[in-house]
Chain A
């Protein structure tokens, strides 16, 4: 176990709000020491305004310095800290303790290879993302200044541009869990972002990719993805729009 810090006496005492003891049950996995994942429970005195991320940082700083998880911006923009919190995919930096029961279970997101503790191998996820050609496709000369795009055209695909590639949607999808080939909702969301962009000229080739046996048709409309999205993207609706575009070959 790596070293941890002594808790400075005043930090919590400073806080004007009562703390509450929370049991944080974490699914650990340390392959160098133990081939099997196991559960470990920590007790943390939390403020109601703490996020689950604060609990993890607290544990790592003061109880077990080896606890491993990803985090970066810590307020829901970078999409690094997606995890299963009480059975639901969430960003740890956006779940407040006051909305949680006294016991919080935290597991890595499902469907991607486990690396250590809460860290999974994101490569299959990014591979699916790359496979739908997530970039503007245009032919002919680019304009000397910007493409002109009306406010309405820009609004058309606003929702799916909010994606932060956190994988919360894809790893909440039961089809993705059982079928290693399915692109998953995040890749389709990012395809949608270009299919419905008035500047893009790659609709045909992108739709062809999504029409694949392992493409959009695997979606069973369970809405897990929409519920999991920390950005509030209407993921299932975006997938439905892509299906419709495929059926009618019209955007």
Chain B
């Protein structure tokens, strides 16, 4: 057996994207010793790919904006399946988190009076997304990376040491993958087990609190905007540790991914293109989104092109363009147009900004998009339309957490935030709400974990050696098998089956077929082989990541089969309507006792607090809630009352 490298920290954060870094800052500020683990180099996380902006009701461009409007938009976008407490905290706290980020040094585009500029985005009533051109995620990561460097240097200076990067209270372990959480006999967190990607050597972290901030699952699908890290690791870790995942059937297909050339299929085209005036057209040149406004949104969206176009300059007297409907609606509409034979040459639709804005303005507002299309597709977006189509982008489901503390269900000491955690976005996430989610719940997770650790008063759990030995055996197995199967093959087949059978439009028989295939893939995955040395062995790494991808794929498919309705990021061809009964239901995934399969149960959602219900008109609530849920509400339309509240 190996010589084991061992570390001991108060709080261990797995994942160094936006939420993990914000959690690290919070836990460090609480005075604890913090380790951050990332699979990539520090600062390369998937968050860098977020383009459009951070949603926060600061009201810099429209003074009517406030947390109540943001809360309403978020709940509508999620079709009222959101964990309403998370949506409330998120709407209330995101302005403070953005201002705080600005004081850390984040660059933002500015309004004429020097405040943070905000842009329009799908589903947001007012211009709400603080942004830096179309590279907001990159700036968010860079700012927090810089903040962490500054905290390390502060610590080092206080301790009289030359550099905080190596010895301080805040350490980054880059290019290290965690394969298992370690638990006490009673099932509380005691640490984590992983390996250095560079050397393949094993590492044991002892820590009473672990925050999972590992992001999403896109790499289980063939066409995705996600980067290679998004293999659902944290969700797999949480499940195997005894925690639960919530509403995994809800997967967001971003309506506008590149569809051509094949080498870049799936890469994101920011919603900011539409926020800044771009429109979707079919092969006949028609702005087809006007044909796809669902009843629940009819009151908020323009019915004619003229009104939609007036809205950009006069939003107070016109309704917004349906090009900016929530993402699930737009993705389904594109899917339907392509199916009806009105698609673009390469199986998407057209996204036209060239005829809508002067060239200079496009270059100024969308520099990354201009380069991306010029360099990768040889398309000049200032002169011709882009071809776009849906791409797997985000999972609304995730680890079941407490809204206030980010504590994960059933496992003391386990916390989660960011895309890895579920609930906040309901059945569909609005653009821009992800970066704000990272900041709001990253901080809360850091503070939640810190409070938990402090309450232990130094009686930290021990790491059982027998578990460590098991972890080593499991991790080494693919290296020791002489002629097992290639992990690349299993991965390809997994991506294909998820794309084809559990994708944007689903049917019971297809999902069942997918589950049959997944069962076979699971069986085959127990015999994966990746021979060769342990240092930077990509086949071995993939074999270990596949365990998580397969587990999460099964969660998605099982939950998708059970939920017999269509809502947000879950569309059932055989149950096309949204159901009031299903709105109350969360689907909870856990691992079976033998650890070999996923079990899904229904769990009723706690009723929304009265003061939050009162932010909506009864007429609107009737579209989502059952009569029993609404019987205690006064019958009159409260829109006027609420408007007064907002103005005051």
Please measure, in the bound complex, the distance between the C-alpha atom of A31 and the C-alpha atom of B200, giving whole angstroms. Answer: 13
Task: Give chain B nearest CB distance to A144 CB in angstroms.
Answer: 8
Complex partner residue of A72 from B44, B110, B376, CB under 8 angstroms: B44
Chain B residues contacting A251 (CB-CB under 8 Å) are: none
* Residues of A with C-beta under 8 A to B109: 151, 154
- Contact across chains for B262 and A15 when beta carbons are under 8 A apart: yes
CB-defined contacts of B58 to chain A, threshold 8 Å: 145
CB of B372 closer than 8 Å to a CB of A: yes
Q: Is A174 interfacial (CB 8 A cutoff)?
A: no
**Once the chains bind, are B263 and A50 in contact (CB under 8 Å)?**
yes
Within the complex, which residue of A33, A66, A133 is in contact with B538, where a contact is CB–CB below 8 Å?
A: A66
B544 CB, min distance to chain A CBs, angstroms: 13
The residue in chain A whose Cβ has the minimal distance to the Cβ of B113 is: A148
Cα A10 to Cα B26 in complex, Å, equals 50
| Interface: B48 (CB within 8 A) | yes
Contact present for A161 and B132 (CB under 8 Å): yes
A185 within 8 A of B: no
B102 interfacial contact with A, CB 8 Å:
yes
Q: What total count of A-B pairs have CB within 8 Å?
A: 190
Q: Name the one of A32, A72, A148 contacting B115, with C-beta atoms under 8 angstroms.
A: A148
Report how far A148 CA is from B228 CA in the complex, Å: 38
Of the stretches B331-339, B354-362, B482-490, B624-632, the one at the interface is B482-490
List the A side residues contacting B261 at CB < 8 Å.
47, 49-50
Collect the chain A residues with CB atoms within 8 Å of residue B150's CB: 133, 135
**Chain B proximity of A162: nearest CB distance (Å):** 7
Q: Is the CB of A96 within 8 A of B114?
A: no
A94 at the interface (CB under 8 A from B): yes
Q: Does A36 contact B (CB under 8 A)?
A: no
Are B263 and A161 in touch, CB under 8 angstroms?
Answer: no
Which of A3, A50, A68, A72 has the most B CB atoms < 10 Å from its CB?
Answer: A3
Bound Cα distance from A117 to B538, whole angstroms: 12
**Which of A1, A8, A126, A157 meets B532, CB within 8 Å?**
A1
Complexed CA–CA distance, A4 and B521 (Å) = 17
Chain A 135-170 per-residue mask, 1 if CB under 8 angstroms from chain B, else 0:
110100011111111110010011001101100000
Q: How far is the CA of A126 from the CA of B40 in the complex (A)?
A: 14
B50: nearest chain-A partner, CB-CB? A77
Contact in complex: A154, B263 (CB < 8 Å): no
Contact between chains at B44 and A80 (CB < 8 Å): yes
How many A residues are at the interface, by size bracket?
Answer: 35 or more
Name the distance in Å between B528's Cβ and chain A's nearest Cβ. Answer: 8
| Given A3-B531, A80-B44, A151-B114, A72:B228 Cβ within 8 A | yes
Q: Closest approach, in angstroms, between the C-beta of A16 and any C-beta of chain B?
A: 9
Name the residue in A77, A122, A197 with the highest tally of chain B Cβ atoms < 10 Å from its Cβ. Answer: A77
0/1 string, B127-160, CB within 8 A of A gives 1: 0000010010011001000110110110000000
Asked if residues A154 and B107 are in contact (CB atoms below 8 Å), the reply is: yes
A77 and B263 within 8 A (CB): no
Contact among A32, A142, A194 with B535 in the assembled complex (CB-CB below 8 Å): A32
Which of A54, A72, A148, A165 sits near B263, CB closer than 8 Å? Answer: A54
Tell me the chain B residues, 435-450 only, with Cβ under 8 Å from chain A. Answer: none
Interface residues of A in 70-88 (CB under 8 A from B): 70-80
Is the beta-carbon distance between A65 and B536 smaller than 8 angstroms? Answer: no
B539 close to chain A: CB less than 8 A: yes
Q: Within the complex, which residue of B41, B377, B492 is in contact with A70, where a contact is CB–CB below 8 Å?
A: B41
Residues of chain B contacted by A4 (CB below 8 angstroms): 486, 488
Nearest B-chain residue to A119, judged by Cβ: B536
Query: Shortest beta-carbon distance, A60 to chain B, in Å?
Result: 6
Lowest 5 A-B CB distances belong to which pairs? Answer: A136-B105, A49-B261, A2-B539, A3-B486, A135-B150
Chain B positions within 8 Å of A, measured between CB atoms, are 40-46, 48-49, 58, 98-99, 102-105, 107-110, 112-116, 132, 135, 138-139, 142, 146-147, 149-150, 152-153, 163, 165, 198, 227-229, 261-264, 267, 368, 371-372, 375-378, 484-489, 492, 529-540
